[in-house]
Structure 1
Amino acid sequence: MKHLPDELVLHIIAYLEPAELVNLQHVSRHFLNLSRDNNLWKSLCFSHSAAERRRRRLELSTDIDPRLAELIRAADTLSNTFDTSVHDASAPSAEAQRERNRDKRKQALIANWDPSYPDEKVNWYQDFIQRHAEQKISWFQEAGSEDCEQGNRRREATGAGILFDSDGLADKLVAPLDDGSISIWDASASSERQGSLVAKSDIGLLSGKGSDLDHYTRLTQSQAIMTETGAVECVSIESKLNKGFFAVQNVLNEVDLNTLQLVSRTPYPFPITALSEAHHRTPLTVGTNWTLHLHDTRKPPQPPSSVRCELIGGSTDTSFSRLETGDFGGHVALSQPGALSILHLPTTRDWDGNGDIWVGGRFTSMLNFDRRCFPRLRGTVHSGARLSCITAIPHPFIPQDLRLGRPYASPALLREAKSMPGYTMITAGEYKGKGSLELYGLSSEPSRAINSSDSRTTRNPNAYYQNRQTVSSSKLLSVAPHGTRLVFADGDGNIKWVERDGSTAVRHFNLNDFQPRSSSSSSNQRSQLVNPNPGANSEPWGDMVQKILPTVHLSSPRAPSAPAAPSADGASSLGLEDLVLWTGDGKLGLVGFGRESLFPLERDLFVDALEEQRDRDGDQVKEREYGAEMRRALEVQARELRWLRGYGL
């Protein structure tokens, strides 16, 4: 076959299954390059997608009610739009014409399914791995583990942020711990020490408890301070300047990550609940329970007396048409508490959409601000859901009618919609006790964008989509873009991937299925040494993911990864788009696909059976059992509340 042209070889190997294509890569360098063909794997991603599998099942189904089958096929308008028949079946060219029609139909189906955009470069081989390969979780060293030097007390991470390199790839994972210190782990996919702890600051650095106190007092007081507020978006990393911003109660700490020394402390009038992404060109947006502020790192911190303020008799009106904002010392006062997530849209764009800052939280509307006119409110967009997380992808929103292929719609309309400049804002939260995943279009084209107004909210039905039926039965806690898909986590510990339409399921798993159970057998203990789990000595306690952090920055040219030719040893840029998880139990994990061990450095664990027995019978186990019982009681109460809401109570 080495004398055949590449086009003919590609046509032959296109009939192979994915597992056979992977084996073919080991034959020679020539077959390695051919079997990584991007169009070939794009076709495989389509043929193995949920939408295509459903369509094929409908075509082959013969045992269902004919009237029901006709109704289902009528709903799948795209498959009925393209006719593969020929006018004259007896003509000599009928078979060739029928084959050309089938190819046209397949290309049209692929174009309708294609989640990518014209200016987007996708490595479809890696995309197929992320869609179908087995997921693996490895846990970062010492995060959420028990410290023997501190009386077997669990060291829990109270937040997480990623320090990216110049290529936009994860280099370090930075997290504050409940003892008031800051830990830094190696998060580079090309490093042999990935997952290991590389630096740690002194205890009490963030909590303000210095060496003037004894160790036990400093530890207990720091733990009480670090775990009081419980904000999720409490860490923001500035990768250009190697700085980190950490919110602890009502104080914003600026830390130099090179030396792990405190640069400044800025107090705010109320506990900080959200931080925006840090960027050296724009001020940091700080959200507290009742206010919003712009924090400019170039200005020296003001004394506490100049920022101290008090809200008396706040408005009890739930209507967002009366959100009062104004210049109260350069900050925004909110009529309702709870800003939980702040999104900064990129400022380097050739169009001015609906502002630079979006704020969501426990209130049911998103607040829109223009940084140039801050603190004046530019407008609001009513969602109805209480949002936990807001993010965006630098691609325009595609209406559902174009994605589903409405009858007689031209494929040119889909290409035109994808070619428009714009962003898609993605939100995750809770609506009437169930999960809510929402997409909003931000574009220079009025017909494809939501509009925010100071007096009254106006929305375009072709510029947003809200999925509150099939996402989750519990609240969504975090959402992030992952390649050509969206990934989100809910309160039950589930991590789910959907297509960019926000509804088509791709894959899912539960975090608690990856919590190893303790066992007295040495074989089970040895199996846990490959990817050691900080909680390996305890049963799963219903953990959940509070925050999802992609290891590739959206501004990186590798987001999503462009097709890369394999190197001399057969390696390429695979395995870069992983996900960092911060769980409710204070653990930090890395989710990857198709590899036996995400962390190349194997760490030795020495397990003492007597210490295991003591831990099982000790106070820590009793505390965890009590926490598990309380969680189950709260879940029962939440189900009862949802049941009562169904009757209007």
Structure 2
Amino acid sequence: MDNLPAEILLLIAQYLEPHELANIQLVSKYWYNVFRDNEIWKRLCFEGRPRRQHDIGLDQRLAELARAAERLIRETSTFLQDVNNTTAVTGTEWNETRLRRTLLANWDPTYPQEDVSFYHEYIQRHAPHTISWFQESRYGHEDDRLHHEATGAGILYDQGLADKLVAPMEDGSIAIWEASASHSRQGTIIAKGAIGLLPNRGSDLDYATRLRQSQAIMSETGTIECVSIDNVRRRGFFAVQNVLNEVDLATLQVVSRTPYPFPITALSEAHHSTPLTVGTNWTIHLHDTRSPPVQSRAVRTELIGGNPASSCSNLQTRDFGDHVSLSQPGALSILHLPTAREWDGNGDIWVGGRFTSMLNFDRRFFPRLRGTVHSGARLSCLNSIPFSLITYDVRSSRPFASLSLIDQWKELSGHTLIAAGEYKGKGSLELYNLSSDPARSINSSDSRTTQNRDACYQNRQTASRSKLLSVAPHGTRLVFSDGDGNLKWVERDGSTGVRQLNINEKAPDTRAGHNGTVEQESGDIVQKILPTVHARQKTDHSNTPFGKDNLIIWTGEGRLGMVGFGQRGFDISEMEDQAREAEAEELRKKEREYGGEMRRALEHQARELRWMRGYGL
């Protein structure tokens, strides 16, 4: 069978189901390479796609309308005049081919400079999901089943893949879990710091007092973006109230403590070559670990972002110091863009929060405000992907964009700024294009550019009925969480649904466009989403090993879990049972050894007594 040409095998593949294609790869290495062909699985991803976001069940009338329009185009026949033969031929078959190519191009989420494995994409889009929960940090008697909650989460990456999960605990300690999918102890706690380490409650206090005070301080923090990990220096930054703690993750010892004038509300991504950006309730600072803290000077920056038509003239800067002072409280998320990207007219630091405009800074001229982009929503999370935005309006025009138009947009270099939050009580997912083309990009120094429909897209109708809490790129999709406990995946257009699940469901999730009855547990939510593949450190996702492109979640109840697809997740209960059995076996072994030693000692004593009696003693 290995002598069959690849063309014949690919023809056979068109008649096989996805699960058959997956199994047939096991026949031989030759068949493995043939049936892993990217075009096969790309076609399957395309054919299994939902037609529109409305197919999830948010608006069936619009879904029916979209399907009717597509059916009308498919059934329309035109008569074409053959230029060479001057004969009239029906264009039905030609229309079908052109329509399929157009639909595929409009759907195709990849970019020319991106390498994607559609085999993995198909699994993450359609395979059943699993949620595995990391080991809890327990205390007290085992029968009481008491455990400390995590108050944040961060990932230590190794060559772009998750290696360790790091989290501050409510008792003031730091716990580290094994997060690598290739490790047999995945999901277990492998290291834990001292109680009261982060709130600086030392051994001068008794255990009960140290624990009580630590829990009060850590539970009062309430910051989502309170952990940032420097993967190169292997340092962790943990915000506790108004103090930034720098911790050596190898020794779990605090290296430095830097106080700030107000409680810390957000930390940017830590990178060894750039300063950390720290946001408090009323200020924004740059924290450079190479230099000692500097006393901040009085400063005030007035931000007016209530009117979308506001221009730069409305920004009144009274003074500049070494930090920015906010006129409205609540910086909740800080995003760093690569400094080596092509110039797009914007700075490399973006700040979002309870105020209705995103703030933009250029690190070279900090703390001078470069500009603002009015959103109107109160944002919870900022993220980005290193590709320019092709908006939903562009993809769905006439009713589908032409092939040349899609190719033209994909060749445009740039980044897409992703924002998630709340607008008038509903979830808001927002995409902004940052590129070198002024006609297709937003510019923070010119608020008029946000009115360009080709430069931004705001999904405030179909994203969620509740506030969006976190957003992250996942493969060629975007994933976000909401206040109802849902995780939803959409295409990069920010609207077309892919799949969704609820972390409180007991039954498996259903793909977009399929309804299912599930049983609900407690109303937990996902506060933070952490991809196990670092989007910036590992750009070639086609070589990512199977089962390692997952999501780590931190919930409102302080639990840490991993969402995977198409394979069995790790089971901590089994590992704990095995560990307890191993401990019991080790105890029994020590008891046997002790019993043997005592028996030999008593036998030796008896021999000595008999020997002494022989001498009449």
Distance 2:244 2:316 in 1: 25
1:334 to 296, 312, 326: 326
2:136 to 139, 142, 161: 142
Distance 1:115 1:83 in 2: 30
Displacement of 1:353 in angstroms is 3.2
Counterpart of 1:32 in structure 2 is 32
State whether structure 2 residue 156 is matched by structure 1 residue 172: no
State whether structure 2 residue 461 is matched by structure 1 residue 469: yes
User: 5+ residue gaps in structure 2?
Assistant: 509-519, 581-617
Counterpart of 1:112 in structure 2 is 106
Structure 2 vs 1, CA of residues 418 and 588 (structure 1 numbering), >3 Å: closer, same or farther? same
Counterpart of 1:360 in structure 2 is 352
Distance 2:500 2:230 in 1: 32
1:553 to 528, 531, 534: 534
Q: Deviations over 1:412-464 (max 9, x none)?
A: 11101111110011110001111000111001101111122278775322101
Contact 1:550 1:578 in 2 (8 A): yes
Question: SS at 1:109's partner residue?
Answer: helix
Counterpart of 2:556 in structure 1 is 584
Counterpart of 1:637 in structure 2 is none
Amino acid aligned to 2:329: P
State whether structure 2 residue 535 is matched by structure 1 residue 542: no
2:494 to 497, 502, 513: 502
- 1:206-605 matches, within 5 Å, as 206-302=198-294, 306-307=295-296, 322=314, 324-325=316-317, 327-406=319-398, 409-453=401-445, 458-514=450-506, 540-558=521-539, 561-562=541-542, 564=543, 573-598=545-570, 602-605=574-577
Displacement of 1:400 in angstroms is 2.6
Displacement of 1:329 in angstroms is 3.5
Q: Deviations over 1:375-419 (max 9, x none)?
A: 111111111100000000000011333311435853111101111
Distance 1:71 1:324 in 2: 49
Structure 2 vs 1, CA of residues 180 and 49 (structure 1 numbering), >3 Å: closer, same or farther? same
Counterpart of 2:514 in structure 1 is none
Counterpart of 2:8 in structure 1 is 8
Contact 2:53 2:496 in 1 (8 A): no
Structure 2 vs 1, CA of residues 374 and 209 (structure 1 numbering), >3 Å: closer, same or farther? same
Counterpart of 2:150 in structure 1 is 157
Question: % of aligned pairs identical?
Answer: 62
Distance 2:143 2:241 in 1: 24
Counterpart of 1:612 in structure 2 is none
Q: What's the TM-score once normalised by structure 1's chain length?
A: 0.79
Amino acid aligned to 2:141: C
Counterpart of 1:201 in structure 2 is 193
Displacement of 1:470 in angstroms is 0.8
Distance 1:205 1:400 in 2: 48
Amino acid aligned to 1:118: P
Structure 2 vs 1, CA of residues 78 and 388 (structure 1 numbering), >3 Å: closer, same or farther? farther
- 1:89-128 matches, within 5 Å, as 102-128=96-122
Counterpart of 2:50 in structure 1 is 50
Contact 2:106 2:400 in 1 (8 A): no
Contact 1:46 1:52 in 2 (8 A): no
User: 5+ residue gaps in structure 1?
Assistant: 56-63, 517-538, 565-571, 609-649
Counterpart of 1:615 in structure 2 is none
Contact 1:354 1:452 in 2 (8 A): yes
Displacement of 1:337 in angstroms is 0.2
Q: Deviations over 1:507-560 (max 9, x none)?
A: 1111111499xxxxxxxxxxxxxxxxxxxxxx943110000000111123355x
CA RMSD of aligned residues (A): 3.5
Amino acid aligned to 2:280: T
Contact 1:164 1:553 in 2 (8 A): yes
Contact 2:342 2:414 in 1 (8 A): no
Contact 1:78 1:109 in 2 (8 A): no
Question: SS at 2:167's partner residue?
Answer: strand
Distance 2:149 2:217 in 1: 13
Structure 2 vs 1, CA of residues 156 and 6 (structure 1 numbering), >3 Å: closer, same or farther? same
Distance 1:353 1:112 in 2: 28
* Higher Rg of the two aligned structures: 2
Contact 1:269 1:310 in 2 (8 A): no
Distance 1:242 1:485 in 2: 29
Question: SS at 2:505's partner residue?
Answer: helix
Q: What's the TM-score once normalised by structure 2's chain length?
A: 0.83
Structure 2 vs 1, CA of residues 84 and 454 (structure 1 numbering), >3 Å: closer, same or farther? closer
Q: Deviations over 1:279-323 (max 9, x none)?
A: 111111000000000001100235xxx349798x99999567655
Distance 2:253 2:212 in 1: 22
Contact 2:344 2:434 in 1 (8 A): no
